[in-house]
Amino acid sequence: MNLTRWLRAVGGVAASLLGLLVLTFLIGRVMPLDPVLAIVGPDADRSTYEQVYRQLGLDQPLVVQFGRYLLGLAHGDLGRALLTGNPVTGDLLRVLPATIELATLAMLIGALLGVPLGVAAATHHGRWPDHAARVLGLLGHSTPVFWFGMMGLLVFYAWLGWAGGIGRIGLAFEGTVPTVTGLLLVDAALAGDAQAWRSALRHLLLPAAVLGLHSMAYLSRMTRTFMLAQLSQEYVTTARVKGLSERQVVWGHAFRNIRVQLLTIVALAYGGLLEGAVLTETVFGWPGFGSYLTGSLLLGDMNAVMGSVLVIGVLFVSLNLLADALYRVFDPRAAA
């Protein structure tokens, strides 16, 4: 890619992120939520209210408020969160690893189950494996994730005792694993604490499976659609006429041609999991990014909301760029 294309890409990304921030800022100002009241409480008197109103800079014109925010952003300062009293950057660095750990395992579960299921459905089009996959896909996609979560907790945690309960680790282990990466499984392994690691794994598997089931449904449906389109192509008929095995036809030819499309939807689904696992995080008491963003929104904590939205924007842009880069690996025409 030449310099002009790079500059155009970077400019496009910067414009998108700025647009995102402007929109979020404006929405934040019209929301019927009062951040001052969140700080001072419903029974504060007038002088206290007005003092905090000024301290937050809310007495300034919107342009000035936004300008100050951008100025801080230019210096790497996302402001201080009302919710936690901490710098937003620090908060995001704390909550993101929790979500990354959950979403990554969920995505692995979703992709490793969903893609083969979609392929099986396509290759058995109109027969029982196809119907079963479609029913499973429909259930996974249309059943509310919080219902799955509650049922999962009831069966695997309360009744069978196989899964850990709420949170990222057993309560008695809280505060015992030194934070290095923020990924609890990694940190517990680094600390050499086998009991804590096992507790973290027990707590991770169920929410990841619930979230992964949702992704699996989506990925299997999309994979099936992509594969059906490929399997009806003439090159597939040719391959079969040439005497290739069904396995070679399906995986060696048809599947190779849907990898680029799959990459796109996997990247988008992963992005969606990173910012949209709110319900799963709520049901499982998972202190991740979705919970942080929701809590901030409900308080009208605009510094935290803007920082979170910015992160979501950067995540989606990064995943798109990654998918673009992988296109070139899988599709030589894109590299040309």
Which residues ranging from 154 to 193 are in contact with other proteins (CB under 8 A)? Answer: 154, 156-158, 160-163, 165-167, 170-172, 174-175
Which residues ranging from 87 to 106 are in contact with other proteins (CB under 8 A)? Answer: 94
Stretch that binds other proteins, among 20-28, 43-51, 125-133, 323-331 (CB under 8 A): 43-51
Q: Which of 5, 46, 242, 247 binds other proteins (CB under 8 A)?
A: 46
x/- mask, other proteins, residues 211-250, rule CB under 8 A, reads ----------------------------------------
Stretch that binds other proteins, among 21-29, 114-122, 146-154, 305-313 (CB under 8 A): 146-154
Which residues ranging from 108 to 127 are in contact with other proteins (CB under 8 A)? Answer: none
Q: How far is CA 48 from the centre of its chain?
A: 39
Q: How many helices (H) and strands (E) does the chain have?
A: 16, 0
Query: Does 37 help bind other proteins (rule: CB under 8 A)?
Result: yes
Are 95 and 287 contacting, i.e. CB atoms less than 8 angstroms apart? yes
Phi, psi of 80 (to 5 degrees): -110, 135
Stretch that binds other proteins, among 124-132, 151-159, 226-234, 313-321 (CB under 8 A): 151-159
Stretch that binds other proteins, among 61-69, 122-130, 152-160, 221-229 (CB under 8 A): 152-160
Are 101 and 185 contacting, i.e. CB atoms less than 8 angstroms apart? yes
Q: How far is CA 130 from the centre of its chain?
A: 29
Stretch that binds other proteins, among 2-10, 38-46, 102-110, 112-120 (CB under 8 A): 38-46
Query: Does 30 help bind other proteins (rule: CB under 8 A)?
Result: no
The Cβ of residue 235 has, within 10 Å, a number of other Cβ atoms equal to 12
Are 307 and 88 contacting, i.e. CB atoms less than 8 angstroms apart? yes
| CA–CA dist 134, 84 (Å, integer) | 44
Q: How far is CA 224 from the centre of its chain?
A: 23
Three-state DSSP state, 251:
helix
Stretch that binds other proteins, among 77-85, 231-239, 256-264, 270-278 (CB under 8 A): 77-85
Encoded tokens for 217? 């449904």
Complex with other proteins: residue 171 or 334, whichever CB lies closer: 171
Encoded tokens for 286? 């998972």
Query: Does 53 help bind other proteins (rule: CB under 8 A)?
Result: no
- The least CB distance from residue 334 to other proteins, in Å, is 41
| CA–CA dist 287, 295 (Å, integer) | 11
Encoded tokens for 317? 């842009």
Which residues ranging from 276 to 305 are in contact with other proteins (CB under 8 A)? Answer: 282-285, 287, 291-292, 295, 298-300
Q: Which of 92, 119, 120, 206 binds other proteins (CB under 8 A)?
A: 206
Encoded tokens for 129? 């494996």
Phi, psi of 87 (to 5 degrees): -60, 140
| CA–CA dist 167, 174 (Å, integer) | 10
What is the binding site for other proteins (CB under 8 A)?
32-34, 37-49, 51-52, 80, 82-86, 94, 150, 153-154, 156-158, 160-163, 165-167, 170-172, 174-175, 195, 198-199, 201-202, 205-206, 209, 282-285, 287, 291-292, 295, 298-300
